[in-house]
Amino acid sequence: MIEFEDFAVAESVYASGLRQPRHSHDYCNVSIVTAGYIDEETEHGRYRGCASSVVLKAAGCEHEDRVGIAGAKTLSIRFARHSRIGREIRNGAWSWFERPEIVRIALAIQEAFRARRVFDVECGAVTLIEAVAATQANPNAPPSWIGQVRKTLEERFDETIRFEDLVRDHGVHPVYASRAFRRHVGVSMTEYVRALRLRHARQQLASTQRTVAAIAALSGFADSSHLARTFSSLLGVSPRRYRQMTTGEV
């Protein structure tokens, strides 16, 4: 564990198949899955966090977890009781993040923590906290069609999708849909699909021995070069380096 004035960063290792019954913590935290995967369930829903997925949980948020068959590791940023940012996280908050800009910060923290570069860990943690806390600022519920569009994108992320046709199927004008989607989700539909493709590629790199070319095809990228360029541009590492960071004995 590395302790700072407003928070601490701690690593946890979980055994294969571990089940944690419903519980909560008396502190807010932002956690990074650094290896394996964890299935988490709260009153808000279920989510499978894979390598470099990030989760924000408010103090008192009840959740239960099940660890994957290969075990799992996490890095957790635990806010001190007096933390100003921690006090700003709304009650019951529970959000998972796969956006490339957030994953990139998470990977940098992971590297810095492993190398015990304390200053870089602190700077990275502050940046990550601010990035995920900012998502709590819009309390307005999105219209129902946005949830339906997101579901379709999540099911068909590996296909070529015409967004204009997709939103018209829901009776929404494309220009309005584009602006509303960004306002409520925080990214454009193109960026959302790219994040889904990156998430799938990350899962495959961290948990299979498939080639980069095969993973690119399964994840909706044109080819391995396209995948490599996207990884390097958005995550700051190559697919090969990512695989080295997220595999190995848990």
Last residue of a domain, one of 98, 116, 136: 136
Task: Please tell me the predicted confidence (pLDDT) of residue 249.
Answer: 44
pLDDT, tens digit (0-9, with 9 covering 90-100), for 88-113: 666 778 999 999 999 999 999 999 99
CA angle 98, 103, 108 (to 5 degrees): 170
Question: pTM (2 decimals)?
Answer: 0.82
Residues 132 and 149 in one domain: no
Task: Please tell me the predicted confidence (pLDDT) of residue 144.
Answer: 86
SS3 201: helix
**DSSP-derived secondary structure letter, 78:** E
List C-alpha distances in Å: 222 to 37, 164, 227. Answer: 27, 21, 8
Residues 238 and 122 in one domain: no
Residues 72 and 39 in one domain: yes
Last residue of a domain, one of 116, 136, 156: 136
The answer to whether the CB of 89 falls within 8 A of the CB of 28 is: yes
pLDDT < 50 stretches in the chain: 249-250
Q: Which residues contact 169 (CB under 8 A, 6 or more apart)?
A: none
The pLDDT mean for the chain works out to: 90
Residues 12 and 116 in one domain: yes
User: Can you give the CATH number for the domain in which 35 is found?
Assistant: 2.60.120.10
User: Can you give the CATH number for the domain in which 229 is found?
Assistant: 1.10.10.60
The answer to whether the CB of 18 falls within 8 A of the CB of 136 is: no
Task: Please tell me the predicted confidence (pLDDT) of residue 223.
Answer: 95
Task: Please tell me the predicted confidence (pLDDT) of residue 20.
Answer: 93
Q: How many structural domains is the chain composed of?
A: 2
pLDDT, tens digit (0-9, with 9 covering 90-100), for 233-247: 999 999 999 999 998
